[in-house]
Amino acid sequence: MQLSTQPYKGTQDYYPEDQRVQNYIFSKWHAVSRRFGYEEYGAPLLEPLEVYAAKSGQEIVNEQTYQFADRGGRQVAIRPEMTPTVSRMVAGRRQELAYPVRWYSIANFIRYERPQRGREREFWQLNADIFGVPTIDAEVEIICMADALMRSFGATEKMYVIKINSRKLVNYMMAEYLGLDLIQSQLMIKLFDRKDKIAPAEFRDQAAAIFDADEASAGLKKIGVIVGAKSMGDLPPEILESSAIKEIQVLFTLLREHGVKSATFDISLMRGFDYYTDIVFEVFDTSPENPRALFGGGRYDGLVSLFGVEPIQAVGFAPGGTTTKDFLVTHGLLPNLNPSTEVYIVVLGDVLKGAQKLASNLRDEGVNTELDITGRKPDRQIKTAIKKGVPYMLFVGQKEIDEEVFTLKEVATSQEQHLPFSRLVSAIKDYRHKTKEVFD
pLDDT tier at 53, thresholds 50, 70, 90 = confident
pLDDT confidence band for 54 (50 / 70 / 90): confident
Four-residue CA torsion sign, 97, 60, 296, 231: negative
**Separation between Cα atoms, residue 101 and residue 382, nearest integer Å:** 52
Would you state the pLDDT for residue 438?
Answer: 60
pLDDT band for position 59 (cuts 50, 70, 90)? low
Measured N-to-C along each axis, helices 321-330 and 16-35 cross at an angle, to the nearest 10 degrees, of 100
Rounded-to-integer distance, Cα 265 and Cα 62, Å: 32
| Of 58, 48, 113, nearest in space to 84 by CA | 48
Give the three-state DSSP class for 180: coil
The amino acid at residue 425 is V
Q: What pLDDT was estimated at residue 201? A: 92
| CA distances (Å), origin 117, targets 57, 228, 286, 291 | 24, 28, 16, 11
What pLDDT shows up at residue 437?
58
In 320-426, where do the E strands start and end?
A: 343-347, 369-371, 392-396, 405-410, 416-420
**Nearest C-alpha neighbor of 189 from the set 207, 201, 164, 162:** 207
Q: Is the pTM of this model over 0.85?
A: yes
Domains of the chain listed by start with CATH number: 16-330 (3.30.930.10), 343-439 (3.40.50.800)
pLDDT at 184 over 80: yes
Residue type, position 363, single letter: R
- Helix ranges (DSSP H) in 242-320: 243-257
Q: Which of 111, 106, 54 shows the shortest CA–CA distance to 77?
A: 111
The answer to whether the beta carbons of residues 420 and 427 sit under 8 Å apart is no
pLDDT at residue 233 greater than cutoff 90: no
Band (226; pLDDT cuts 50, 70, 90): confident
The mean predicted confidence, pLDDT, of the chain is 93
Q: Which pairing describes strands 392-396 and 343-347: parallel, antiparallel, or unpaired?
A: parallel
Check residue 58 and give its pLDDT.
66
CB 298 within 8 A of CB 280: yes
